[in-house]
Amino acid sequence: MPLKLPSFKKKVLSIDFGGNEIKIVEGQALNKSINVSKAFTVELPRNVYRDGEIINEESLSSLIKDSLKAHKVRTELAHGVVNSSMIITRNITLPKVPEKDIPSVIEYQLEELLPVNPEDYIIDHLFIGNKIEDESENIEVLLIGIPKQMVLSHLDLMKSIGLKPIVLDYQGNALAKLFDFNTSINEFYNTRDMTIATLDLGYYNSKLSIIKNGKILVTRVLETGTKSIIDSLESIFDYSLEEREEKLFEIEDISRDVDEYTDYSRLVNVVKSTLENLTEDISMVFRFYTTRERGNTINFIVLQGSLSYVNGMENLFSNYFNIPAVKLENLNNVKINQDISKFSNAVGGLIRIAEV
């Protein structure tokens, strides 16, 4: 059965913080559908926000406040969604204990489980499930450690805009809830009992999560993003930043080999070479998951984020991993008049259940 939610009469804002732009949705998560009434982006100048760090709070606050005013948003209740390479995740196995006792067990072993100063992080966990190891029953848990300063700075930012922040969610958790709330992706791919690799191909980096029935099984932040490709083109072509970005999205089909020696073929080869670093990193995460337990498999890959708009990206990933890869186009229980791929993290952030 898909996730069911209580109905709330009040609309909520969900703000997905990204390095190149911020995605904001206004809507309601009802018990049978998620209704998004407004969805828009806030483009960010360089050196304002990056990798979960607010670099210029005054500028960022002003940009969001102006955008909310321009879109006539009066909703004050707000959920935030963040991701960062500074967020620590660990898959751990513990002796089976009642679920209510998991926090105390983690607290007792925390210094061994996470190589950080616990006072500098807000530590939470997501229960994955039970497993048998060496003839004993254990439980598997995903530990998530978010820098305390990151949490406080985002909550303070939302307050400075005049919002009332309710929760700060982790991006992987927002997506897991979103897919669990729906039964089909793109009207074809079933979400029930399927292991889905979600790949958010962002500007500064990419975020990979392997999820099943609302549970995050593995999650990682990978270094390669749109900027990696834009930077690699700079050493080859005498193009401006804007021209390099335009050329990237003018590629006819990145999954096809181009043999002739032209500027176009050089462009395609440089992009593919950079993407090889990403596919190798993804392969390592896939191997980590599939070799952990007999029967572990990945049914399909869902692509999101800016790089997913490069022509042929779905075929490139399908061919490389021999797994169906699709760009997220629609979810059966989400009503939105904008591109769901762009706003999926923010839409998932509307859901209030098992937040981190």
pLDDT tens string 130-181:
877 767 788 888 889 999 999 999 999 999 999 999 999 999 999 999 999 9
Work out the burial of residue 116: count CB atoms within 10 Å of its CB; fewer than 13 is exposed, 13-18 middle, 19 or more buried.
Answer: middle
Rounded-to-integer distance, Cα 272 and Cα 99, Å: 45
C-beta of residue 230 within 8 angstroms of C-beta of residue 274? no
pTM above 0.85, yes or no: yes
Instruction: Tell me which architecture the domain covering 88-146 has in CATH.
Output: 2-Layer Sandwich (3.30)
3-state SS, residue 249: coil
C-beta of residue 261 within 8 angstroms of C-beta of residue 268? no
pLDDT given for residue 306 in this prediction: 86
Q: Is the pLDDT of residue 4 over 50?
A: no
**Average pLDDT over the chain, rounded to whole?**
89
How do beta strands 34-43 and 334-335 pair? parallel
Handedness of CA 133, 139, 142, 148 (dihedral sign): negative
pLDDT given for residue 130 in this prediction: 80
**Comparing C-alpha atoms, which of 356, 38, 354, 350 is closest to residue 178?**
350
DSSP string, 30-79: -SS-EEEEEEEEEE--TTSEETTEES-HHHHHHHHHHHHHHTT----EEE
pLDDT given for residue 336 in this prediction: 93
Q: Which CATH class is domain 184-330?
A: alpha beta
Q: Among the listed ranges 43-47, 109-113, 304-308, which one has the minimum average pLDDT value? A: 109-113
Quickly count: other Cβ atoms within 10 Å of residue 117's Cβ.
9
Domain spans, the chain: 88-146, 184-330
pLDDT given for residue 9 in this prediction: 61
